[in-house]
Structure 1
Amino acid sequence: MLLSVVQLSQASPASPALSPFALVMKTSAARAFAFAALATPSLALQLKPSTGGQQYVDNKFIVELESGSSLSSRSADTDIHARFLADLERRLPSNAYKVQQTYSSDIFNGATVGINNVNDLKKIAAASGVKSVHPVRILEAPQVVTHSTAGVDKVHAAGNKGQGIKIGIIDTGVDYTHPALGGGFGPGFKVAGGYDFVGDNYNAAGSPAVPDPDPLDQCAGHGTHVAGIIGANPANEYNVTGVAYKASLRAYRVFGCTGGTEDSIVMAALLRAYSDGNDVINLSLGGINGWTSDPLSVVASRIAAKGRVVAVAAGNEGEFGAFYGSTPAAGKDVIAVASVDNIGLGPLFTITTTIPGVGPIPYRWGTDFKPIDGANVKLPVYATSRDSSITDDACNPLPANTPNLAGYATLVRRGSCAFETKALNVAAAGGKYVIVYNNDGEFITPDFGSYQYGVLIRDSDGLVLLDAFLKGTSFTVSFPNTGTVSIANSQTGGLASSFSSVGPSFDMYFKPAIAAPGGGILSTWPTTKGSYAILDGTSMATPHLAGISALILKAKGRGVAKNMRTILQTTSALIPQTLANNSLPQSLAKSGSGLANAFAAFSYRTTVSPGELLLNDTAHWVKQHTIKIVNTSKKKRTYTLKHVPAGTMMPFQSGSIQPVPGPVPLVNAPARVKLSSTRVTIAAGKSVSVKVTINPPAGVEAARVPIISGHIQVATAGETLRVSYLGAAQDLRKIQVTDNTPDVLGVATPVVADPTGNVQTGPRDYTFVNGDNPTVYFRDVFGSARIAFDLVKEDFQLPQQPKKRAGNTADEDWLVGAVGAMKPAHKSIQPGTYAKVPILGHIAEFRYFRRHNNGNDLYSGFGVANVYANGTAIAPGRYRLLGRFLKVGGEPTIQAWYESWISPVIGVVAP
């Protein structure tokens, strides 16, 4: 039996919640992150909970049970669930636990169990048929096109609109009363089925789920937007046309109107969507993790391996740099979808001005698709700053000499803080109408929160207004709202969206896999909230890709589902880093193979495989590969092959262990590629294989962990296909995991902090009464598959460990298992059994841990109690904590592949 659990000692109520993981809806909201205010006197850091807020549900666990096929023939005929439940009844009193969800599927067999006392976990783990146990995680709630971009219009023109294909949407539910979404629910309607797993009032933070069969959502909106991208009927007032608008939709609601949900509920929705026979499953949600082995990623991947297309948002954390992927997008067989910005902006309402020669100025406003109420106003403009390079314009209360802004439209530079913050500061000075002019970059959807009179205009238009203001020109602006305009996105159209997350996974899988339009997408919105909205996010790119998949299934048959990722990757279009003529191609760690091209996937009569060449890191480099080219046309064809390198990404700062925030720089340092043939002729219906040898580039700064990527291009008349590759030109075992510098927090980590938040620098006694207990804080700059904290003697010294396998121990094969889970921690607490290091007992453990960022997830922490993780009391005495962090790619049984930390002396004393 395998156990994958974060083992926590009983922390005081004031201790921060552990935050090794989180899942969120993948809509990008324009926002400013709150940086923790950390005082940094010498070794007197006042530590407070990180603002990341990514949590487990207290004392609730997903239990995977053995399936009949994996047991003996006698056991295979037994009801596994009944045996498990009967054994639980023998082990625990009925009031000590509650089975809250059951799963019975060829994909996943198990249950979600809540317990009152975490020390009872070992009894659950030991129950009959238990295969693995995982903590339930909270999934955070969402913050709230032109089809020519991806060739969808040409597929529609051929008569293919996805007829007969079933698409499941796991999201916030759908407002199926929307006319463009069919106006009803059930057989015969566009939204033909589904299920509400939670109800309106559900919130993972406290309000219980109240399931019902009706997935109607008229309060959140995210799922309605996703549904419109996939299936909105054309001929509506804004001509929003779904990618596969004749497909049949099913909605699975996993979020209430507000707040978060649990991954156990999303898992139930995945299994339901699978059993309902959906051909395509869309998950516009995810969480920071970057590993392929969490339960949700594994279940999604298993479903994909069964021949269903599973499209998952890659994430909206591009600002935090590389190796910052999401799950369940990390699933090995799912399609992780990145976002590109739309080539058009609109429909947009406009501002008119009396400045001579200046035409209407288009603006974007909040999520709800309605203009601000200002049709009859004519106001002069007041700029809160005369400096267009300012980064904190109106981020703080305006100066005392600011005039009463009631009679102005106030012009503010976008800068770095939240739109709502700016608007409220203007309102505090008497203002009402706020015109924010953008930074030099993509024209995003602003988030003014509850403020109703804020708009965003382009950088160039804002500079025109600022120039006129500075010159003292007499002019006014108004908001006529008499019609809409659409304009070309000349700055970022067709480029990877800045918010789109950057991979690859820590275990060097190709994430994201592909890109689709996700920046500036107009789609349906609840009828109670305005009916239409423009949103940005990989949440919007994912249904676009799901819809394209439906079109291909309609054209080629359901049998191609297992090959869908390869079909779409090899027919995708190159994405440049910039719009400059000499731009490097974007790194595939940012954009995946390229922009999905529905018409190419639909019409090409050549296939190439595989879609991805996984090179790994230099310690595990795979340089030899074979590409198979199949001519499916009815005539002989000649193909030319060549290497098309992408820019090499440099994820880490030179001379530093700190990751580079986005956008991550690219350099022109291509891999060295050799092809066995550069020209082949293939008869109709035949195939040819070409060998490819790929070596890392020479002369790159390995310490910056260069991510090399690119394509092997295969072209014939009218068709250009590409096989993508990706790898790291560095041994990932050499990458520092823990942040042992003062660069971000002002102190090296890990640290022990006393109840006041001061870093402990010498011996200290704790009574463990009334909050008098220590807290451990740590910050990681790279991922780790295992982080363990153990109690050791006061005079402990870490023994030298050989870099060779040391024979079996009770803790040795923890990475083995159907979901990459680990053996029960309570079996590895025996002194000296873990890599022969003499520990006294186990305190806490994290599995498949993300890296922290420099914004909303600075560090993690956990409170230490006077008991071991298995509930056994720690005897009074003086001890230290031993923290060990497994390096990526390191052998988990070898101590030398761990970074180790030893704490100051911690005294356990009687109160």
Structure 2
Amino acid sequence: MVRLGLATTLLAAASFAQAAHQKAPAVVPGAYIVEYEDSHDPTSILASIKGDATIRKDIRHELFKGASFQFKDLNKADDLASKVAAMSGVKALYPVRRYSIPEHTVHSTGSAVQEVVAKRDTGNDTFSPHLMTQVNKFRDSGITGKGIKIAVIDTGVDYLHPALGGCFGPGCLVSYGTDLVGDDFNGSNTPVPDSDPMDTCNGHGSHVLGLLSANTNNPYGIIGAAPDVTLGAYRVFGCSGDVGNDILIEAYLKAYDDGSDIITASIGGASGWPEDSWAAVVSRIVEKGVPCLVSAGNDGATGIFYASTAANGKRVTAVASVDNILAPALLSEASYSVANGSLSTFGFTAGSPSAWANVSLPVWSVNFNTADAANGCEAFPDDTPDLSKYIVLIRRGTCTFVQKAQNAAAKGAKYIIYYNNASGSTKVDVSAVADVKAAAMVTSETGAAWIKALQAGTQVTVNMADPETAPKNLNNFPNTATPGFLSTYTSWGPTYEVDVKPQISSPGGMILSTYPRALGSYAVLSGTSMACPLAAATWALVMQKRGTKDPKVLENLFSATAHPNLFNDGTKTYPMLAPVAQQGAGLIQAWDAANANALLSVSSISFNDTEHFKPLQSFEVTNTGKKAVTYQLGHTSAATAYTFANDTSIGPAAFPNELVDAKATLVLTPAKLTLNPGQKKTVTVLAIPPLGLDAKRLPVYSGYITLNGTDSTGYSLPYQGVVGSMRSVTVLDKQNSYLSQSSDATYAPVAAGTTFTLPPAGKANDTLYATTVYPTIVLTLSMGSAEVHADVVNSKGKTIGQVLTFPARWNPRGTFEWNWDGALSDGTYAPADTYKITLKALKIYGNSKWPLDWETQTTEPFTIKYAAKSKRAFTA
């Protein structure tokens, strides 16, 4: 069956407008990926579109036989695409979706003019993320990933960085790879590939590769987790913008063809469905024996059921993030004096803007309360002095940095220093406040010292320094708030089909690594982007130690030996394990994985929902050791997460959603098993979901089956399930699905009977009609839907077709908008008339042939007319 995915025309080039913080991958207008049947010769298909389209990528590979192409006439693109989808030999047709440059938080960076000191190697690995994941034990044992090839698909790498080898090509640390796009590529223009994957303008990829394999030729003693692996860098982003999934598919296939043993990427977007083309290709690579690790995403604020692609692909290892036990900060050095006394040094993190050169001013503070969470959040008092003569000191907390800066600027402030309310220091951005020339942050200790002096009536004078030239010092502060706990930003699973996502967790919050020399050489960043490469490095170490490259075996080993942690909401720790949907199996314990004598046949178990409940499942345990071991089986529950805030909610609650201590009952047979060396036995699991839960709120329960051995080893297996029916939940938010108009930036509903005068058929993209106001379909999905339709119903109540860009398949939750120029999916145009649009969304697990499995919402009636071809466009 051919699958035709969502497309958009140029008039809807923005594609998806996003509700709040919910992100949905945009599409490239008029661009598609076609997948051929394996036995079909694609010559006839490509020949049929030769005059209408240009080929973006010709991908004829054993794992994906297809091509991507761009239609020249965007007004006819979707009609032509439908014809291609119906052609003999076409297996599937997908839109080219666009994924943005990976998100990450920059806490601090080094100096662009910083000199690198001579190589320093103490022989001991004390890097805190390595201590957290047992990587240090490999280094102590001389296991460094030698002989393993890791491909990184990212923004490229500054391979001339001394800590990243200083060269590119055979014999170098970064020995293979390519640039698939070029510096100027932004996702919407034509890529200009070359053979050089240099990263000078972004930094993300350089940070990632440093976590994998940085050598100690650096001033901070940074050590890559697997310093002797061979790295491949595949650049898929320019200096800004995004990338199409056809380029991502090409990058993965190139990395596979180049003999990579592991492929890692910290790229993705909201999905929840494993069926899209990119995820499918990555899954096939795993099936061929190459582990693929992908970051779980940084959308934790959106709550549960927000799995990212391609991390949500079958057999793909999705990596969640935990926070570092330390809060490293690269602080610029400056000085201050109290009562014009001797100078003392302090460290600061420059913000944006950062015009601190030659600034020497006294400090002024709103108040002297270092526990004031809302310091600077209210308008400053009327008796505030002219703050242009001061550096304004404000405590971090409650409201935004920008709001505090606006209040200060209203009293003349040009220079602002925030002091932290937690460990360390981080970068602030108040560039939106025009009058502020420079901002920075100092530690809570520095801020407290200045406040104490000010409270005593003593003047504090701060002598700032240019952060580009000031000396940089690494400060490792203890993380007193969230050490080792799940990062609040890490995205939650499961998929809409209740597959376990993520699989594993790794340190990603507040991580020091390499950065492009032009951007400071070193940086402290946060994101699942940082967690994923460290996990990939541990895969390489275990590969070398155990002599296996089997993706399934490796994932099962890491899952069984991981350490689950308690739930932490960013400020408070709860006496319940964090749900599997947030942390997967838990924090990687790589040395334990490398030395495990018990091998489980699965990495997790999903009991699915109540309607599709699979209460009886099994897994095998194999003794790979040299001695007989007896295992006592048991299980421990994790927190149960309610999806919805109450019985009337239809959209998942934002983080932190309500967690309850509700336990499933598991009957494990046998309760104890003895395995001789090489012996394998089966364990059956009978699950009884937790009682007393409100099924309408869709609680997701989870926990861990435990195996404790007489050899003092312990293993665990994550499980999860849903109380309630996934098919019964509301997917279409009717209240927020309606008709609006393209001229309204707020997308408010239009009044019934609104008339739109549209360009003549096929002329929507002509500049003559640039001011046209279009009817805009606003669709909000409260949960993901595998298929969405938009039927056009005329004044006689007859459905005459679908809006051109529909059906839309494999949709995440969120709000989307489409402008309509009258085009229908069969290539014709709706005649002038009064219409309604009936929106239809298929329920999760719904059968598209069953009417009751569709949810519908019909818009208010509206009228369309067409302008005469010889006249200028009209507006509504």
Contact 2:318–2:503 (CA<8 Å) still a contact in 1? yes
Preserved contact between residue 442 and residue 492 of structure 1 (Cα < 8 Å) = no
Q: Distance in 2 between matches of 1:872 and 1:232?
A: 58
Report deviation, 1:767: 3.0
Does residue 602 (structure 1) correspond to residue 594 (structure 2)? The answer is yes
Aligned length: 810
Residue 732 of structure 1 and its aligned partner are, at CA, apart by 1.1
Q: CA separation in 1, counterparts of 2:646 and 2:423?
A: 26
> Which of 88, 96, 99 is the aligned partner of 2:49?
88
**How is 1:17-36 mapped onto 2 (pairs within 5 angstroms)?**
17-19=14-16
Of 740, 764, 774, 2:734 maps to 740
- Aligned residue runs from structure 1 range 376-775, under 5 A: 379-383=362-366, 393=376, 402-415=384-397, 419=401, 426=408, 431=413, 433-438=415-420, 446-447=428-429, 453-457=438-442, 475=460, 483-578=473-568, 583-655=575-647, 656-716=649-709, 717-741=711-735, 748-753=736-741, 759-769=749-759, 770=769, 771-775=772-776
Deviation at 1:468, TM superposition (A): 6.4
Q: 8 Å contact 2:639–2:660 — kept in the other structure?
A: yes
Amino acid at match of 1:873: Y
What RMSD, in angstroms, separates the aligned Cα atoms of the two structures?
3.4
Equivalent in the alignment of 1:130:
90
Residue of structure 2 in register with 1:828 after alignment: none
Tell me, yes or no, if the aligned pair for 1:361 and 1:457 is still in contact at 8 Å.
no
Identify the residue that residue 313 of structure 2 maps to in structure 1.
331
3-state SS in 2 of match to 1:304: helix
SS of residue in 2 equivalent to 1:542: helix
SS in 2 for 1:57: strand
Q: Which residue of 2 aligns with 1:200?
A: 183
Instruction: For 1:785 and 1:184, locate their aligned partners in 2 and report how far apart those are by CA, in whole Å.
Output: 46
Q: 1:447 and 1:630, CA in 2 relative to 1: closer, same or farther beyond 3 A?
A: farther
- Structure 1 stretch displaced more, 781-790 or 767-776: 767-776
2:871 corresponding residue in structure 1: none
Deviation (angstroms), 1:405: 3.1
Gapped regions of structure 2 (runs ≥ 5): 107-126, 466-470, 760-768, 868-876
Conserved? CA contact 1:20–1:846, under 8 Å:
no
More strand by share: 2
Q: Alpha carbons of 1:894 and 1:410: their partners in 2 closer, same or farther (altered >3 Å)?
A: same
TM-score, length basis structure 2: 0.85
CA distance in 1, matches of 2:24, 2:367: 34
Answering whether residue 336 of structure 2 is matched by residue 365 of structure 1, we say no
**Which residue pairs with 1:807 in the alignment?**
none
Question: By how many angstroms is 1:644 displaced?
Answer: 1.0
Alpha-carbon offset, residue 552 of structure 1? 1.1
Counterparts of 1:577 and 1:715, CA distance in 2: 23
Instruction: Name the structure 2 match of 1:801.
Output: none
Is the contact made by 1:608 and 1:721 (CA closer than 8 Å) also made in structure 2? no
Q: Say whether the 8 Å CA contact 1:16–1:862 is kept in structure 2.
A: no
CA contact (8 A) 2:181 2:191 kept: yes
CA drift of 1:348 comes to 4.7
Cα distance between partner residues in 2 of 1:759 and 1:840: 23
Q: 1:568 to 1:864 in 2, by over 3 A?
A: same
Matching residue's letter, 2:488: S
| Greater relative contact order structure (CA < 8 Å, 6+ sep) | 1
Task: Verify the 8 A CA contact 1:588 1:709 in the aligned structure 2.
Answer: yes
Q: Deviations over 1:116-168 (max 9, x none)?
A: 23132234334553221111122222456521010000011111100000000
Give distance in 2, aligned partners of 1:254 and 1:768.
38
Three-state SS of the structure 2 residue aligned to 1:566 is helix
Q: 1:397 to 1:901 in 2, by over 3 A?
A: same
Q: Quickly say closer, same or farther: Cα 1:754–1:259, change in 2 above 3 A.
A: closer
Name 2:276's counterpart in structure 1.
294
SS at match of 2:632: strand
Aligned match of 1:785? 786
The structure-2 alpha-carbon separation of the partners of 1:762 and 1:287, relative to structure 1 and needing over 3 Å to count, comes to same
Question: How far does the alpha carbon of each residue in 1:842-864 deviate from its partner, in whole angstroms, 9 at most, with x for none?
Answer: 54322111112xxxxxx211112
Report the CA distance between 1:478 and its aligned residue: 6.4
Q: Give 2:36's match in structure 1, choosing from 50, 60, 65.
A: 65
Alpha-carbon distance between aligned partners in 2 of 1:352 and 1:715, rounded to the nearest angstrom: 56
3-state SS, counterpart of residue 584 of structure 1: strand
Identity of aligned residues (%): 32
CA spacing shift, 1:558–1:881, aligned 2, 3 Å? same
User: 1:137 is matched by which residue type in structure 2?
Assistant: R
SS at match of 1:111: strand
Question: Where does residue 2 of structure 1 map in the other structure?
Answer: 2
Q: Which of 100, 125, 130 is the equivalent residue of 1:140? A: 100
- Read off the aligned partner of 2:739 and give its amino acid letter: V
Structure 2 counterpart of 1:153, from 127, 131, 136: 136
**486-495 or 276-285, which deviates more:** 486-495
* 1:849 partner letter: N
Aligned to 2:154: 171
**Once the two structures are superposed, what CA deviation does each residue of 1:653-686 show, in whole Å capped at 9, x if it has no partner?**
1132232111223211111222223332222222
In structure 2, what residue type is equivalent to 1:198? Answer: V
Please state how far the C-alpha of 1:602 moved relative to its aligned partner: 1.1
Give SS of 1:491's match. Answer: coil
* Distance of 2:346 and 2:625 partners within structure 1: 48
Distance 1:790 1:235 in 2: 63
Q: In structure 2, do the counterparts of structure 1 residues 19 and 550 end up closer, same or farther at CA, with 3 Å as the change threshold?
A: same
Distance in 2 (CA, whole Å) between partners of 1:205 and 1:470 is: 56
Partner SS state of residue 509, structure 1: coil
Preserved CA contact (<8 Å) 2:708 2:714 = yes
Question: For each residue in 1:813-851, what CA deviation from the matched residue of structure 2 results, as whole angstroms up to 9, or x when unmatched?
Answer: xxxxxxxxxxxxxxxxxx9xxxxxx66445432211111
Give distance in 1, aligned partners of 2:607 and 2:443.
42
Counterpart position of 1:835: none
TM-superposed deviation, 1:883: 0.9
Instruction: Determine if contact 2:559/2:603 at 8 Å carries over to the other structure.
Output: yes
Distance 2:149 2:235 in 1: 17
Q: CA deviation at 1:760?
A: 3.2
Preserved CA contact (<8 Å) 1:20 1:849? no
Match of 1:185 in 2: 168
Question: 1:624 deviation in Å?
Answer: 1.1
Residue equivalent to 1:845:
807
Q: Deviations over 1:540-571 (max 9, x none)?
A: 00000000011111112244333222111111
Provide the secondary structure at the position in 2 that maps to 1:893: coil
Q: How does 1:308-319 map to 2 (within 5 A)?
A: 308-319=290-301
In the superposition, relative to structure 1, how do residues 482 and 322 fare at CA in structure 2: closer, same or farther (>3 Å)?
closer
Query: CA separation of 1:780/1:401 partners in 2, compared to 1, >3 Å: closer, same or farther?
Result: farther
Which secondary structure state, in structure 2, belongs to the residue aligned with residue 380 of structure 1?
strand
- Residue 906 of structure 1 corresponds to 862
Q: Could you tell me how far apart the structure 1 residues matched to 2:359 and 2:740 are?
A: 61
